[in-house]
Amino acid sequence: MPAIWIASARVIDPAAARDARGDLFIRDGQFVASLSAAEKKRAKKMDARGLVACPGLVDIHVHFREPGQTHKETIATGSQAAAAGGFTSVVCMPNTAPVADNAGTIQFINDAAERGAVVHVYPTGCITVGMKGTALAPIGSLKRAGVVAITDDGDCVQSNELMRRALEYAKMFDLPIMDHCQDASMTVGAVMNEGAMSTRLGLRGWPHAAEDIIVARNVILSESTGAHVHLQHITSRFSVDIIRRAKARGARVTAEATPHHLAFTDDALAGYDTNFKMNPPLRTEADRRALIAGLGDGTLDIIATDHAPHTSDEKDREFDYAPNGVLGLETALAVTLDVLVRKNKFKLATVIDLMTRKPAQLLKLPAGTLAPGAVADVCMFDPDVKWRYDAKAGFSKSANSPWHGLTLTGCVKATIVAGRIVYADGKISS
């Protein structure tokens, strides 16, 4: 593996509070403080003038659909989409077919990642057997198999008692629980946010209280057990307030927001476009503003994509019957830069922190830093260049993106994983 010399970049490393013009050096898959004169002559030199070089982006919420739903995505194609988006580490959800509720399925996922992934892929295991919410999965076995968290994402554990026991066991095994917060009794048949737009469109509404109630439940159980609960894809301003007050008391809760919930509101559904149909749904402008404020004051800890591929045939149906979910990996950086940096005056280093150091720290992943000795994962991007996103020409197997055909600003130019250039100039390296 040749040494790499990234020259004249704007280097942003939140873990070291570094934001300055400089060089990065990589040898044998790790960052080093410098290269010798002889090594520099032999190194692959990458001219990064005008580019930002930061730790590889980290996404702790993706759906790669393997095993069982490989017509939508595979670990190989999902990892290529991740690399194209500047991500070097991703955490896969367990709602595959079969679901990842046992060590054998986790081993299958790890083997598939080792064979075909171009980025680091980490598995999660289920909270409950079959994701049915009735009996706990073998959490100890899942931990030994290599999961970094447990979750029934896609479903929510409805039993408060079962969730309490899950938290007690998860704490014993030092595993976070990641929860999709949804009171199912309040969302039967619901397909979008409950409000003026759902009334206008004649679609069954999904009240924000269905999220708020479970967020409050999880806060209470976290405080009573001392376990770490991570609240996935928060959308409601009331949930943001609950989390803010819980953190002020010292509760072990963390939370995420997605680029699509930061960028859109339920007004986007006016044309019944199923590429805007997701779970949880797009909500109001007040909710969107609350998410941005929550990221600004630390109430919400990270940004995660909830990358959820579906085929065109699946999405091209009546709105009620189309599946929930949108692609996110290839557009996440550009969308987040637009919403937070350009429109809401966040510092670029703050946004990089939300997408690198903080998610890595949350799940204790070996990522999110450019420090000498660390694994050499790098995202290089031009924050100002404009490009047109064509989801059908992207690296995912699916194309269900609300940004298809739009011009975005901020483009990933190269992605380096463990010292190997896996994406550059719009192509995946073999």
Which tokens hold the place of 221?
Answer: 């159980």
Task: Tell me if 295 sits within 8 A of 234, measured CB to CB.
Answer: no
Task: Tell me if 296 sits within 8 A of 373, measured CB to CB.
Answer: no
The CA-atom distances, in angstroms, between 106 and each of 92, 281, 397 are 11, 29, 22
314: exposed, middle or buried (C-beta count within 10 Å: 0-12, 13-18, 19+)? middle
In angstroms, rounded to a whole number, what is the distance separating the alpha carbons of residues 55 and 368? 5
In angstroms, rounded to a whole number, what is the distance separating the alpha carbons of residues 66 and 74? 5
Strand partners, 193: 206
Which of 59, 306, 338, 377 is the catalytic position? 306
Q: What does the DSSP 8-state code read for residue 375?
A: B
Q: Reply yes or no: is the peptide bond before residue 98 cis, omega within 30 of 0.
A: yes
The pairing of strands 4-13 and 253-257 is unpaired
Q: Which amino acid belongs to residue 401? A: S
353 given a catalytic annotation: no
Which tokens hold the place of 125?
Answer: 């295991």
Closest C-alpha to 61, from 154, 163, 167, 156: 154
Tokens 């680029």 sit at which residue? Answer: 259
Q: Reply yes or no: is the peptide bond before residue 67 cis, omega within 30 of 0.
A: yes
Q: Cα 298 from chain centroid?
A: 17
Give one DSSP letter per residue of 323-340, joined into a string.
Answer: PP----TTTHHHHHIIII
Tokens 């009334």 sit at which residue? Answer: 199
Question: Active-site positions?
Answer: 306
